[in-house]
Chains A and B, each alone.
Chain A
Amino acid sequence: DGGITQSPKYLFRKEGQNVTLSCEQNLNHDAMYWYRQDPGQGLRLIYYSQIVNDFQKGDIAEGYSVSREKKESFPLTVTSAQKNPTAFYLCASSPQTGQGQFFGPGTRLTVL
């Protein structure tokens, strides 16, 4: 059953803590993405990766970090430097950049 999985679905974090969100895909896609979704706004790109061991900053990369050690996995770390981390985080993948993206189910992060 091919697709993109994100875990956990809900995540709570105390201020000052780093937290890592998981994203895995078995679609054999080269490109992967992380977006942040806030009420009333379009998706905003945090980071993207065109290929293994490569990633690029998106529009709102400050306070976030990523790694792409395997084709299937693209974890996102929300660091304590992110000023307003409470949001819905979406991971996506596409065969290559510039092609239609398919999304995971999302992780809702709440900072307490």
Chain B
Amino acid sequence: GESVGLHLPTLSVQEGDNSIINCAYSNSASDYFIWYKQESGKGPQFIIDIRSNMDKRQGQRVTVLLNKTVKHLSLQIAATQPGDSAVYFCADNYGQNFVFGPGTRLSVLP
């Protein structure tokens, strides 16, 4: 498999528990944020996005929370499943492009 994410922080959760993955960003002017999921050897997959005029957005089993005061973003995954095992990273916009975080590896324990 790919060596991407070799030295990333890891979050281990029991199957069925909720997962919370955090991300800090540095650009106060960022107004659009995205969470991606990347499985080993594959390209990143768009999960959910949020704009700065919102604090919370929900999708299917996922919720993104945005705290602009402390420049913090979190991704909550409900009832974590083995298929959720992957690297998750956030992206925030600067100008026309995005800054991508290094990611967190989520490991789901049986």
Q: Which residues of A contact B (CB under 8 A)?
A: 4, 6, 33, 35, 37-43, 45, 48, 50, 58, 88, 90, 97-98, 100-106, 108
Contacts and interface: CB of A to CB of B under 8 A. Distances in A.
B20 interface: no
B107 to A, nearest CB: 16
B34 interface: yes
Closest 8 CB pairs of A and B: A103-B43, A40-B7, A42-B100, A97-B96, A39-B6, A43-B100, A105-B43, A103-B44
Given A39-B6, A90-B43, 10 more contacts: A38-B4, A39-B7, A42-B102, A42-B103, A88-B2, A98-B96, A100-B34, A104-B43, A106-B2, A106-B43
A104 B42 CA distance: 8
Given A48-B97, A58-B97, A42 B43 contact: no
Nearest to A59: B97
Given A90-B44, A106-B42, A108-B2, A42 B97 contact: no
Interface string B69-92: 000000000000000000001010
Q: What band does the interface of chain B fall in when counting residues whose beta carbon is under 8 Å from A?
A: 20 to 34
Contacts of B41: 106
Interface class of chain A by DSSP: loop
Given A39-B4, A39-B7, A40-B7, A98 B93 contact: yes
A90 B45 CA distance: 12
Contacts of A37: 4
